[in-house]
Structure 1
């Protein structure tokens, strides 16, 4: 290292250590983005860029071609708009449930309860499981001859086709994804709760403040930066949901649980002929929406903190 430092100079040494990571980021992150942008402006089902003709903004025009944007059946790519509509319902519902349950769990785990370390491990355990394993497990539980219907039958109820009807399939899609990922956000919120000084709560207790008042006036304001991070991460993860639902429901029944990432996968890889250009255009539109959303959230957070 002394010889290398003498050869390139001490100011360039940090770049020597950063170079492997920079190459990995460029090769596996930045380069695919630029290739995806290129594919979105090309047509044909050919894979190699040299074999794909330039068609301009045709793929974007096809996706956005609708007689009535509130009626997917009037759109040239109705499944794209059905997936978008499902995502607009799925993401707020799942994120609200995720953060609410994770916050409640973190508050409970932050208290002085017996077996606290054990329960922390229990709630985090699903995060370590493969999404496919999670989906297969819950599919086994929810199928007509599954565990849940077995319990209902023993209690005298009729078995239910949980994943056959649109409303129940959508509910279980939200439930399974919350169950699978809640532990990750619980740990983040738990760390935020433990960073709040105990003296503040003791002072509130001396002033005879109720638990609810301490929660709304102390916990939530001091936990706001952590909640913002959790919110952004949860939204991005929710929009990118694919594995669990693809195995659990396959986007069905019909297109009731079809989300954006599954639509992009199917149009680009599952159907014939494969439309790489349309899939690339849809993924870029999704990425742009996520980027704008994240920037708006950060701007709101920065404005509120400055105020």
Structure 2
């Protein structure tokens, strides 16, 4: 275990020999108020590598950012100072709060997320494959059916714990949350392969404090979700069997968000939005 004495925060930047600084320009929403941040939100990148994730966040056309990236070898890249509001949570809510970007530090872990078992191995959504010894089989906290997931490394979990300890020491942190908890139905990270409850157990429970903010009935309920039943399923631009195809077919067990319904068709979202026949989707939430 790395000594927590080595993990310091100076001028809202981690000060440690492990840190690389790649500070983003124009990828934040200004400064937190003086009493914030008070929340840590954990994510997986769902990308092939730490380098790819850095490039995505660096792209000025991508409206997304985070405070930290953590590689599978424990490498750490700081993208924003902790006193600036990043764009990592998207549409989100926690208890009475909405827009958790305004309250939380975003930490992204290099991890492929949900995997599909194929004859060639365990495949990520972009086509990359992972060996069996990197795969976790388990059920997501918001689902009832187990799936394959990319596992996290021991050094990643150790690094996250030490970073959270440093953040607790510097800021009045009250919550460590998964993206899946603030955007249920829309997001599934960090997923069941990450021991989120165990990480939380290392820290004082300050969560009895009621968060500031009020319920906002204008926030829509999370979308229903489902998984693909056939081996391959065409996704189309309209609810019509003759409509134009929308990219590559969906694969068996792919998870989709269900956005709407029209007769025997469902409008779904994965990496794109389109329409599929209703009988080929098993609704799970």
User: Normalising by the residue count of structure 1, what TM-score does the alignment of the two structures yield?
Assistant: 0.19
Structure with greater Cα Rg:
1
- The structure where helix makes up a greater share of residues is 1
- The structure where strand makes up a greater share of residues is 2
